[in-house]
């Protein structure tokens, strides 16, 4: 989209899956992309290579999203490379499926820290510059689990519900500054997290199939380009959860 050309996106967990699809889609719109990874260095290099082969700019930044100091360095690295951050996609996350009776406080803390606290810290780090420039987009990758509970567990569902609350709060606080904040709530997308989970049954989806990462990326492009969508949770779930 023409109005995204020259913008800069920071995508956490952008080396594969949904994050990679968003990175590629943004690059096709003429955006520069800083994507993060924790351990998947080869996948991150591959994604950067694909973006550069298409004529766009990209860098990969290694970071543990549980580390507040690392998140600050992540944002600094993106700004050092591209001068600014226009769009933040809080996509990094984990989802370890366990019977609820076996969940420990360590499972809870790791999931909340990786999925929710990281989104808060990253947003707090980049939003002030967005406000000062009068333009910005905060996008939270939530989940249908926030609405229906999902199949992974209460630790995961709570972390994703928190991301919706985070999006709504920033949307209210920043509405008059030119910065919008929204969430995307996918369900059963063809990613490693889903295809490797034996509890996933695609027949629960009314349209009869899993979603694709590109279908989520399409929504991320819309949210980056549309300045009138604010405080919304965009459900992309094949009709599993319906809202008015």
The answer to the question of residue 69 being in a domain is yes
Task: List pLDDT tens digits, range 32-65.
Answer: 999 999 999 999 999 999 999 999 999 999 999 9
Please report the pLDDT score of residue 195 as a whole number: 62
Residues 6+ apart with CB under 8 A from 238: 187, 188, 205, 206, 207, 208, 209, 211
**88-138 tens-digit pLDDT:** 999 999 998 889 999 999 999 999 999 999 999 999 999 999 999 999 999
Q: Does residue 105 form part of some domain?
A: yes
The full 3-state SS of the chain, as one line of letters, equals CHHHCCCEEEECCCCCHHHHHHHHHHHHCCCEEEEEECCCHHHHHHHHHHHHHCCCCEEEEECCCCCHHHHHHHHHHHHHHHCCCCEEEECCCCCCCCCHHHCCHHHHHHHHHHHHHHHHHHHHHHHHHHHHHCCEEEEEECCCHHHHCCCCCHHHHHHHHHHHHHHHHHHHHHHHHCEEEEEEEECCECCHHHHCCCCCCHHHCCCCCCECHHHHHHHHHHHHHCCCCCCCEEEECCCCCCCC
Does a structural domain hold residue 243?
Answer: no
Whether 89 is in a domain gets the answer yes
DSSP β-ladder status, 136-141 and 179-186: parallel
Structural domain includes residue 244: no
| Token pair recorded at residue 121 | 């810290």
Residues marked as catalytic: 156
pLDDT tens figures, 139-178: 999 999 999 998 899 999 999 999 999 999 999 999 999 9
Using an 8 Å Cβ cutoff, are 127 and 138 in contact?
Answer: yes
pTM confidence score: 0.94
Expressed as residue numbers, the domain containing 158 is: 2-236
Is residue 242 assigned to a domain?
no
Domain count for the chain = 1
The listed range with the strongest mean pLDDT (112-116, 200-204, 239-243) is: 112-116
Angle 68-82/118-133 helices, nearest 10 degrees? 40
Which CATH number characterizes residue 178's domain?
3.40.50.720
Q: How confident is the model at residue 235 (pLDDT cuts 50, 70, 90)?
A: very high
Structure confidence at residue 205 (pLDDT): 84
Do the domain assignments include residue 137? Answer: yes
Distance (Å, whole) CA 164 – CA 233: 7
Asked if the structure places residue 146 within a domain, the reply is yes
Say which residue, 21 or 206, is predicted with more confidence: 21
């Amino acid at each position: 989209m023409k109005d995204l050309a020259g913008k800069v996106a920071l995508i956490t967990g952008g080396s594969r899956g949904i994050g990679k699809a968003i990175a590629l889609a943004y690059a096709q719109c003429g955006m520069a992309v800083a994507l993060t990874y924790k351990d998947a260095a080869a996948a991150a290099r591959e994604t950067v290579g694909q973006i550069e082969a298409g004529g766009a700019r990209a860098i990969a930044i290694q970071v543990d999203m549980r580390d507040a100091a690392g998140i600050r360095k992540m944002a600094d690295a993106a700004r050092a490379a591209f001068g600014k951050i226009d769009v933040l996609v809080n996509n990094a996350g984990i989802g370890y499926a366990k019977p609820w009776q076996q969940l420990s406080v360590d499972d809870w803390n790791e999931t909340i820290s990786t999925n929710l606290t990281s989104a808060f810290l990253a947003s707090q780090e980049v939003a002030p510059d967005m406000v000062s420039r009068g333009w910005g987009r905060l996008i939270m990758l939530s989940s249908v689990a926030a609405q229906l509970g999902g199949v992974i567990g209460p630790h995961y569902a709570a972390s994703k519900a928190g991301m919706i609350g985070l999006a709504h709060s920033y949307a209210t606080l920043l509405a008059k500054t030119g910065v919008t904040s929204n969430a995307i709530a996918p369900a059963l997308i063809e990613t490693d997290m889903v295809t490797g989970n034996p509890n996933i049954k695609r027949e629960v989806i009314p349209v009869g199939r899993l979603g694709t990462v590109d279908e989520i990326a399409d929504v991320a492009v819309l949210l980056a380009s549309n300045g009138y969508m604010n405080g919304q949770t965009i459900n992309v779930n094949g009709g599993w959860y319906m809202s008015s």
